[in-house]
Amino acid sequence: MSVLIDSHGTGTIDDERIADIVRENFTLTPAAIIEALDLRRPIYKATARFGHFGRKNGEFTWEVTDKAEALRTAAEEHKGAANG
């Protein structure tokens, strides 16, 4: 699986390091993505109504932000190392 980050020059961390952080925190094989997002459930009728994104119910697993803290920590560690 390829990971490409392009912050269009707006990032405070270089794009390649952000890509490394993504690779370190997510297993991006098809099987791992299916498992992590619990995609083998029959939710297609609900998914087709009102769009896929920005939904607040727990049924839409791609809206979960459970990795946010790990990503934030990795970014802070990198910024600290770059400044120290």
What is the share, in percent, of the chain residues with pLDDT greater than 90? 42
Q: What is the DSSP string of 10-66?
A: --SS-HHHHHHHHHHH---SHHHHHHHTTTTS--HHHHHSS-SSS--STT-GGG--T
Under the banding of pLDDT at 50, 70 and 90, the label for residue 55 is low
Question: Is 9 inside any structural domain?
Answer: no
Q: What is the pLDDT of residue 25?
A: 92
pTM comes to: 0.64
Average pLDDT, integer, range 35-42: 82
Provide the residue range defining the domain that includes 29. Answer: 15-83
How far out from the chain centre does Cα 49 lie?
Answer: 24
CATH classification at residue 77: 3.30.300.10
What's the whole-number average pLDDT of the chain?
Answer: 82
Average pLDDT, integer, range 68-75: 92
The number of distinct structural domains making up the chain is: 1
